[in-house]
Structure 1
Amino acid sequence: METLHPRASLWLLVLGTAVLLDLGTQPIWGIEDNSKLLTGINEKALTRFLIHVKRGMNDTPQYAVATLLPRAACQQPALAEQEGATIQKRLRDVRAKGKLDRDFYINQDNFMVAILQKGEYTTWHAEAVLVGTINTPDFRGNFLERFLATKKQQYPPNNSCFIFFSLISPCLDYCLNPNSSTYILSDLERSLQGFDSRFQAFAFKYAYEEDKPKGKKQVWEAWRQIPMPLFRCFFYPPASCMRCNNKTLDNRCFDEIWQFSAKDYFG
Structure 2
Amino acid sequence: MQRILITGAAGGVGTLLRPRLARPGRVLRLLDVVETTPGPGEEGVTGSVNDLDAMTAACHDVDAIIHLGGQSRENTIDDVLELNVAGTYTVLEAARRAGVGKVVLASSNHAVGFHSRDEVPEGGLPADASPRPDTLYGLSKVGIEAAGRLFADRYGLAVIAVRIGSWFETPPGVRGLATWLSPDDGARLMEACIATDAPGFRLIWGISRNTRRWFSLAEGEAIGYDPKDDAEAFAGELITGGEPDFLADPELNRAGGGWCEVELGLPMT
TM-score (norm 1): 0.35
Q: Which has the higher helix share?
A: 1
Q: Which has the larger radius of gyration?
A: 1
TM-score (norm 2): 0.35
User: Higher RCO, 1 or 2 (CA under 8 Å, sep at least 6)?
Assistant: 1
